Structure 1
Amino acid sequence: MPGQRKRKSQRRHAAERMAARTSGPGRWEVVFETQSAAEWREGLRRLRTEAADIDWELTRIDTLCGRLQQPTTYRLSRFVPATGR
């Protein structure tokens, strides 16, 4: 498929940048979580326009796939580096 190698390379480089920035001590903090896909899209749109303090390079989007027992959950987390003492 045309362009697939380029997309794979871009994803790999993005993953390497994320690993380099989050390799130190710290934790993932949940910024936004919902079980509604429409609410998820609206929440992301709102955060992109309003939240200037979010470093999008240090964010992670998780989609926790649901089954009959648990519905699908969408979660946006950001990496918070540990403060040195």
Structure 2
Amino acid sequence: MGVLFDYVFSDKISLDASFLNGEGYNQIQTDEDFKTSIGVTYTPFKQLTLRLYYDSGIAYQYNQSDLAGFVGVKFDKFSLGGEYNHQWNNKAKENH
């Protein structure tokens, strides 16, 4: 359960943010741990999309965070994209 916020500044830039309990829609929140995220999408022209995304949350007393960057290019007959992801404290392991 949570809240998702989307805002379109213009036809070139938009922002999304969320605040989630992380338990899923069918479970009651059993702790005080939440996950927050923010993403920005920039489309300078129709053929190019750039996106930056960050989230952070507590799992088993460790702060887990993700950072992702995406670049996508549209051509007439196909699209091409690349993404970089970095995770901190993956699988609730410190410095992992």
Report the TM-score range of the alignment, normalised by the length of the smaller protein.
Answer: under 0.3
Q: Which has the higher contact order (CA 8 A, sep 6+)?
A: 1
Flag the structure with higher strand content: 2
Flag the structure with higher helix content: 1
